[in-house]
Amino acid sequence: NAGVTQTPKFQVLKTGQSMTLQCAQDMNHEYMSWYRQDPGMGLRLIHYSVGAGITDQGEVPNGYNVSRSTTEDFPLRLLSAAPSQTSVYFCASSLDFPKGVAGNTIYFGEGSWLTVV
Amino acid sequence: GQNIDQPTEMTATEGAIVQINCTYQTSGFNGLFWYQQHAGEAPTFLSYNVLDGLEEKGRFSSFLSRSKGYSYLLLKELQMKDSASYLCAVRDHGNSGYSTLTFGKGTMLLVSP
């Protein structure tokens, strides 16, 4: 993948535990986002950021927190994990997404497989 | 909100042509993407349409009709490695003023010998 790094790749949590999924990109992208992917549901947007200090909610934000203190990093926090948060999580970034530049592609990280028991 | 529909599954034969349709409803359309996703991997970019018409890129082509809220991805000379999920995604301007990308549920394509 083109410079989007997600960690960890696999994680098992107990209900009620907290954890942070890390996402970093080295392409100086302004736009970063988190999606979750569940069978039969497709990719659903959790939170996104259009630059350092600016975040907004997506389609399924409940149970997740984000912050964007630097351009490079966009961590996703689960404060109290629930079995419904068992999913594959993808971080994505792009250079200039909100301005609608033609052909501006989005780069995805390799995914994080999270199981909450 | 947005509504994006695409078939759940399709099957085709190696060497054939297949067309995957996508219909969408959105209030602030600003482009349509197609992504390919192999099992256990991240989506990878295939094509982008923002104006009506056909965009061709090798064996893959994508068509858009904004007035009909309709797009298709055309795959020619199918190969076994084309077996994957194909995701239609629509970008629009949300209420916050920022663009977001919404994905359909994906079409699983199985290519058989």
Please, which pLDDT band fits residue B13 given cuts at 50, 70 and 90? very high
Question: To the nearest whole angstrom, how far is the Cα of B62 from the nearest Cα of chain A?
Answer: 13
How much is the average pLDDT of A64-78?
Answer: 97
| A92 neighbors A32 (Cβ within 8 angstroms) | yes
Instruction: Tell me the HSE value of A23 on the side-chain side, using a 13 A CA sphere.
Output: 33
Q: Is the pLDDT of residue A101 over 80?
A: no
Of B42, B45, B106, the CB nearest to A42: B106
Partner B contacted by A42 (CB < 8 A): yes
Question: What pLDDT, on a 0 to 100 scale, did the predictor assign at position B26?
Answer: 85
Q: pLDDT tens digits for B35-83?
A: 999 999 999 989 989 899 999 989 999 999 999 999 999 999 999 999 9
Q: Is the pLDDT of residue A3 over 60?
A: yes
Question: What pLDDT, on a 0 to 100 scale, did the predictor assign at position A100?
Answer: 42
CB contact under 8 A, B101 and A33: yes
Please, which pLDDT band fits residue A40 given cuts at 50, 70 and 90? confident
Please, which pLDDT band fits residue A61 given cuts at 50, 70 and 90? very high
Q: Is B82 helix (H, G, I), strand (E, B) or coil?
A: helix
Query: From the candidates B88, B103, B108, which should be mutated to test the interface with A, based on the most A CB atoms within 10 A?
Result: B103
Q: Is the pLDDT of residue A8 over 80?
A: yes
Q: Is the pLDDT of residue A98 over 50?
A: no
With CA atoms as reference, report the closest residue to B87 among B17, B53, B37. Answer: B37
- Cα–Cα distance, A114 to A78 (Å, whole number): 11
Question: To the nearest whole angstrom, how far is the Cα of B5 from the nearest Cα of chain A?
Answer: 11
Question: To the nearest whole angstrom, how far is the Cα of A82 from the nearest Cα of chain B?
Answer: 23
Share of chain A above pLDDT 70, in %: 91
Q: Is the pLDDT of residue B86 over 70?
A: yes
Residue B52 per-residue DSSP state: S
DSSP alpha helix (H) spans, chain B: none
Q: pLDDT tens digits for B94-111?
A: 666 677 889 999 999 999
Of A40, A100, A110, the CB nearest to B42: A110
Question: What's chain A's average pLDDT?
Answer: 90
Please, which pLDDT band fits residue A99 given cuts at 50, 70 and 90? very low
Query: From the candidates A106, A107, A110, A112, which should be mutated to test the interface with B, based on the most B CB atoms within 10 A?
Result: A106
How much is the average pLDDT of B22-44?
Answer: 92
DSSP per-residue codes, A50-107 = EETTEEEE-S--TTEEE--SSSSB--EEESS--GGG-EEEEEEEESSGGGT-TT---E
CB contact under 8 A, A90 and B33: no
